[in-house]
Amino acid sequence: MKQSFLLLFHLLLIGQLVNAQKSLKKSLTGISRVEFKTETNVSIITGSTNEIIISEGCTGCGSDSEPVVKEENQKTEDERAKGLKPIFPEGVDNTGMGILIQQEGETLNIKDLKARTMRRGFTITLPSSMALKLDCGDIGNAIIEVRTSDLEISTGGGAITLKKVTGPVTAHSFTGNIEVDFSTVSQQAPTSIISSSGFIDVSLPANVKTSVELKSSTGTVYSGFDITKRREDKLKPLNGNSMITGDINNGGAKISLRSSTGNIYLRKK
């Protein structure tokens, strides 16, 4: 009897947690670019339909620097707020999730209106070909998988992880590490990846055609490609005091990797 009661209680608790997580869907018809601004962790996954799905929660995006949501802020309803509507300094919630969505031409602008202490991150489902600009604020992490489109990612102290992307990529973090795995490299525009004090780790296909600019002011640059004189070791240290430039496989779209104090790793897959 006791076990049955505990099982029922557990199922009810799970149901409450699932119901507490909100999500919204919006058609992307007529949209060629999505811009999302928040102060928390974000995971971008690939969807199979022409719509964007924004869900609360970001499994696997955790960070030691991510603020802990206060217990009173986790409640789905505030009894004292009945009959009132929330207002925010940066706009009006038109989604019921503390988010403002506006369309300007072919761009869908999405702004998170809540403070980061009220969030536990987002998971966003988006077609792989949709161009994306993502701002994770001061400390939010970004995890993005399978993109065949233009990416512009920024965060203050968070980490940026891009998996199976083609670019072009513009990624910037002041203190966080940046890891990028390219499936192919788009020749449409240059790629720029910058971290002031974090490391940069980029993997490229062996047959990539690119022209590189590599610089770490006080760190070391390592390359698995033949950019300078060939050496016997597989991951060759290069002088990081000045800009390193060169072509890989006769050159192509430029890839610029820069860090002030972190190391740079350029890997051949």
Per residue in 105-130, pLDDT tens? 999 999 999 998 889 899 999 999 99
Of the two residues 242 and 257, the one the predictor is more confident about is: 257
Angle at 248 between CA 242 and CA 254, to 5 degrees: 65
Give the integer Cα–Cα distance in Å for 184 and 73: 43
SS3 81: helix
Letter for the amino acid at 64? D
| Residue 7 pLDDT greater than 60, yes or no | no
Residue 77: band (very low, low, confident or very high) from pLDDT cuts 50, 70, 90:
low
Buried-exposed string 129-164: b where 16+ CB fall within 10 A, e elsewhere: ebbbbbbbbebbbbbbeebbbbbbbbbbbbbbbbee
Whether residue 14 is predicted with pLDDT greater than 50 in this model: the reply is no
pLDDT value, residue 231: 45
Q: Does 252 score more than 70 pLDDT?
A: yes
pTM for the full predicted model: 0.83
Q: What is the predicted pLDDT for the residue at 238?
A: 55
pLDDT at 62: 59
Strand ranges across the sheet with 200-204: 23-27, 51-56, 122-126, 42-46, 142-147, 160-165, 178-182, 200-204, 264-268, 221-223, 236-238
Q: Per-residue confidence at 242, pLDDT binned at 50, 70, 90?
A: confident
* Predicted pLDDT of residue 243: 84
Mean pLDDT of the residues in the chain: 85
> CB pairs under 8 A, 24+ apart, for 178-183?
181/269, 182/208
Q: What is the predicted pLDDT for the residue at 72?
A: 45
Spell out the long-range contacts of 95-99 with Cβ–Cβ below 8 A and sequence spacing 24 or more.
Answer: 95/24, 96/22, 96/24, 97/22, 97/24, 97/54, 97/56, 99/24, 99/54
pLDDT number for residue 85: 85
